[in-house]
Amino acid sequence: MTPSIPQTQSGYGFKRGQKTIQRYDNRKIVGPKGKEVLLKIEAAGLCSSDLHILLAQETYIPDSFIMGHEIAGQIVAVGEGLEDDEIFEIGGRFAMFIPDACGICDQCRSGRDNTCKGNLGDAYGLSQDGGFQQYLLVKNLRALLPIPDGVSYEQAAITSDAVLTPFHAIQRASTHLKPGAKVLQMGMGGLGINALQILKNFGVYVVVCDIKPEAEELAKKYGADEFWVDPVDSDHLPESFDVCFDFCGFQETFDHCQRFVKTAGLVMVVGLGRSKLMMMNFHMGRREVKVIFSMGGTSLEQIECMEWVAAGKIKPLSTLVDMKDLPKYMEKLNKGEVLGRIVFNPSKL
């Protein structure tokens, strides 16, 4: 181990049976071998999915692991197989692609590595060790995406999920997003803030809905044409929107989308507020509405997202704090008291 790299570290993560995030101390830092790298975490974002992991206690995940799936950092050590490599060299700045994609299954070879079947369900910070620690051993080099000049570690970390997820969903809906199309966006949280900025590049009319009245100022700042707290009280007629994006994933928000989407329109479900949603079969069928569920995005799209950030097309909203305060901010997130993204600095742990 390089002398400047400590032997042990601390981190925060999941422990079976505990519904609050747990601190792990004195974890051994393992150096890279062969074609592996050791990434020093410079920024790690907090996401609502982190709450879901703790509360749901899903059986398919390990009994304990370090959480944090929005990750950016720099390489501080490489295995002997990479000593002369010009891409993965010490000092290189990289963001992590969340899925531990194999690169060889039919999904990966088709460019859909976000739905990899080779390493089904494996994801950094979601089912294996992630970024809520100071160092991460990376064995799969496909997961390392170079950070462009002009993009900070903080921005790169957020882009890996809070930007990529709405970007991917909006790209999938692009055939319905003709200039002047009416779009209903449910949610102005961590995903919605970036979704709105992306949507405005399509020249569409965006109506944002959020249960928090105070979100109106932020929505208007980022380009919303209208803001609602309760869609039922709006002046818009049911069945009048070309596309409805649900960035919340609750039954109530999904019901609003089903009510307001027009004939031959599209409902795009992105948020994971509930594990099950009920659909109005007849009313959706008579209008031949298309419903698409969307998860994350591809590694190629993540690179494109960072280029959008570098060009100033997307300006992620975040607050950088010390990782030692992670439990406090997890509780704030649970109470709905977080605006934009909280990003942790692991050096303060």
For residues 128-144, average pLDDT:
97
User: Dmax of the chain from CA atoms?
Assistant: 68
β strands within 139-293, DSSP E: 144-146, 182-186, 205-209, 226-228, 241-246, 261-269, 290-293
Contact 267, 290 (CB under 8 A): yes
Contact between 71 and 126 under an 8 Å Cβ cutoff? The reply is no
Name residues whose C-beta falls within 8 Å of residue 246's C-beta, 6 or more positions apart in sequence: 186, 187, 253, 254, 257, 267, 268, 269, 270, 271
Minimal CA–CA distance to 166: which of 290, 269, 12?
A: 269
- In the predicted model, what is the mean pLDDT of residues 185-204? 96
Calculate the alpha carbon distances from 281 to 245, 249, 255, 287 in Å: 19, 18, 12, 10
To the nearest whole number, what is the mean pLDDT of the chain?
Answer: 95
- The pLDDT > 90 percentage for the chain reads 91
State how far Cα 278 lies from the chain centre: 24
Cβ neighbours of residue 273 under 8 Å, at least 6 residues apart? 248, 249, 250, 253
Residue 267, token pair as written in the block: 């409902």
8 A C-beta contact, residue 64 and residue 15: yes
What's the pLDDT score for residue 207? 97
Cβ-Cβ contacts under 8 Å for 319 (sequence gap 6 or more) = 339, 340, 341, 342, 343
What is the tens place of the pLDDT at every residue in 325-347?
Answer: 999 999 999 998 998 999 999 98
Q: Tell me which H or E stretch contains 42.
A: strand 37-45
SS3 267: strand
268 has a pLDDT exceeding 60: yes
Please state the rounded mean pLDDT for residues 308-336.
95
Domains detected in the chain: 8-146+317-345 (3.90.180.10), 165-293 (3.40.50.720)
Mean pLDDT of 168-177: 98
**What pLDDT score was predicted for residue 3?**
55
* Six-digit token string for 315: 């300006």
The pLDDT assigned to 131 comes to: 98
Pairwise pLDDT comparison (250 vs 348), residue with the higher score? 250
For 210-249, how does the pLDDT look when each residue is reduced to its tens digit (9 = 90+)? Answer: 999 999 999 999 999 999 998 877 788 999 999 999 999 9
Percent of the chain at pLDDT above 70?
99
DSSP state of 125: T
The tokens of 157 are what?
């970390």
Q: What is the mean pLDDT of residues 311-333?
A: 96
- 86 contacts: CB under 8 Å, gap ≥ 6: none
In order of 104, 277, 290, 298, the CA distances from 163 in angstroms are 26, 24, 24, 12
pTM summary value: 0.95
pLDDT tens digit sequence for 44-98: 999 999 999 999 999 989 999 999 999 999 999 999 999 889 899 999 999 999 9
Q: How many CB atoms lie within 10 A of CB 4?
A: 8
pLDDT at 231: 81
Which residue intervals of 261-298 are DSSP H helices?
A: 281-286
Q: How far apart are CA 80 and CA 335, in angstroms?
A: 47
Say how far apart CA 204 and CA 184 lie, in whole Å: 10
Task: Calculate ∠ Cα 308-309-315, nearest 5°.
Answer: 125
What is the model's pLDDT at position 2? 55
Mean pLDDT (whole number) for 297-304: 98
Q: Where are the alpha helices (DSSP H) in 173-261?
A: 190-199, 215-221, 251-260
Cβ(329)–Cβ(343) below 8 Å? no
H/E stretch holding 72 reads strand 70-78
pLDDT at site 118: 83
